[in-house]
Amino acid sequence: DRAAPATGAAPAPSPSPSSCGAAVRTVQEAERLITEATGCAGAVNTFWHGELGNAWTPPTFVPYHNGQVPADACGKQGTPDQFADNALYCTLDDTVAYSVEFLDELADVGGPSFPLFVLMHELAHRGDRLAGTLGVVNRAEENQADCFAGRQAAAARDAGRIEISDALHGSLLFFSLGDTRGGWYDQEPATTPDAHGTPLQRAQAFSLGFLQGSDTCHRIGKSRTGDVAF
C-alpha cells in the first residue's frame, strides 16, 4: 500500500506544464495521472515522492486481458482464472498488473475515478513495501492500502485533478469491493490469506485517508484485528 521523505532527499523535479495533465474526465486522463512524471501537481508519482523521497521510483504497469496471465513474475505462477477481473501488486518483480476488462467495467459503473482508485490501492501496496511499513496482518495491510488510496485521491483533489464528488464515490467503490467471505462483518479472521477489509472498513479507510494524514493510515496498518475505527 509512508514515512516522511528521507533527510536530504533530492527535491521533486519540475516537469514542463505541457507534460502534465489536467482534470480527469476520461480513463486515458486517469492513466495519465497514474503515470505522469514526479513534479506534476496531483500526480501519483508526485505524492509518493513526497512520502518516500528518492526511494520511490516510477512503477512498472502490466496490463493484460481476461483469459490471460500478466507478463510478470506473478503471472508465471498463476492461471488465467486467478487473474480475471483483478488488479494486483506483484512483490516478486515490483510490478502493478491489471485486467483491462476489469478497469473498463469499473469505468462503466463509476466513471474514470473508479479504475484510478483501484490502481492507487495497488500503488499503495508498493509504497508500503518500499517504506518497510506493511500492515501487521493481511486485513490491516489491505485497509492501510485503501487509506493511502484516499491520501493519493486527496492530493489529486487538492491539485484540481479530480472533484470532491469523485472522492465520495470512492468510498462507495471500496464499500462495494469489501470482503464478505464468512459473513458481513468481521466473521473472517484478519490473518486469513488474502483477507481484505469488510465493506464498512474499506469505505472508512479510504475516507479517513482522504480526510486525515498519512499517520492515520500507518495506525490502521498496525491493527492486529484489522479494525479501522479509533
Rounded Cα distance between 223 and 106, Å, is 29
**pLDDT value of residue 9:** 47
Q: Which helix (H) or strand (E) holds 98?
A: strand 95-99
**Span 71-85, mean pLDDT?**
95
Give the residue extent of every domain in the chain: 17-221
pLDDT in tens, 6-16: 334 455 656 65
pLDDT in tens, 30-74: 999 999 999 999 999 999 999 999 999 999 999 999 999 999 999
Contact (CB, 8 A) for 170 and 209: no
- Average pLDDT over the chain, rounded to an integer: 88
pTM, full prediction: 0.88
Rounded alpha-carbon distances, angstroms, from residue 186 to 28, 42, 97, 178, 198: 37, 35, 29, 11, 7
User: Given pLDDT bands bounded at 50, 70 and 90, which one contains residue 18?
Assistant: low
